């Protein structure tokens, strides 16, 4: 049951970010990265928003609990997103108020999904 709620939380965060990226991509970029977007950047941000929304919809748990594939997908996404957001702040030269918090949220969600991913993997053996 905790896994289901964790997956729902992670999917909800991605859905909200996706919807915001579709609706106001320049604002999301400014808040997250502290930088504006060019016309092509706006197009890519909206496409990314669509992808995040689709990820959230695909991972939203149906039934009693989340599947191994859903957990693995969200675990991978959250850990890679955390690493990349951390890189953008430390090595990429981006500075904003929300970059570290976004990195922390993805790190925490990823770490919290690890036990569920391990449990599901052991069930498959």
Q: What is the mean pLDDT of residues 110-115?
A: 93
Whether the per-residue pLDDT at 91 is higher than 60: the answer is yes
Total domain count, the chain: 1
Closest among 107, 112, 73, 77 to 89, alpha carbons compared: 107
- Structure tokens belonging to residue 97: 């108020």
Structure pTM? 0.85
Asked if residue 68 lies in contact with residue 124, where contact means CB atoms within 8 angstroms, the answer is: yes
Whether the per-residue pLDDT at 64 is higher than 70: the answer is no
- Structure tokens belonging to residue 12: 């909800």
Of 20-24, 42-46, 70-74, the range with the lowest mean pLDDT is: 70-74
**Domain of residue 75, residue span:** 2-124
């Amino acid at each position: 049951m905790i896994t289901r709620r964790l997956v729902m939380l992670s999917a909800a965060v991605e859905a909200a970010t996706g919807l915001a990226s579709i609706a106001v991509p320049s604002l999301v970029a400014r808040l997250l990265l502290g930088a504006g977007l060019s016309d092509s950047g706006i197009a890519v941000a909206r496409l990314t928003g669509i992808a995040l929304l689709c990820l959230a919809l695909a991972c939203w748990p149906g039934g009693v609990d989340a599947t191994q594939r859903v957990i693995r997908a969200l675990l991978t996404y959250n850990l890679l997103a955390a690493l990349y957001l951390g890189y953008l702040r430390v090595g990429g030269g981006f500075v904003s108020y929300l970059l570290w918090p976004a990195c922390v949220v993805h790190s925490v969600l990823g770490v919290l999904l690890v036990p569920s991913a391990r449990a599901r993997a052991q069930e498959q053996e």
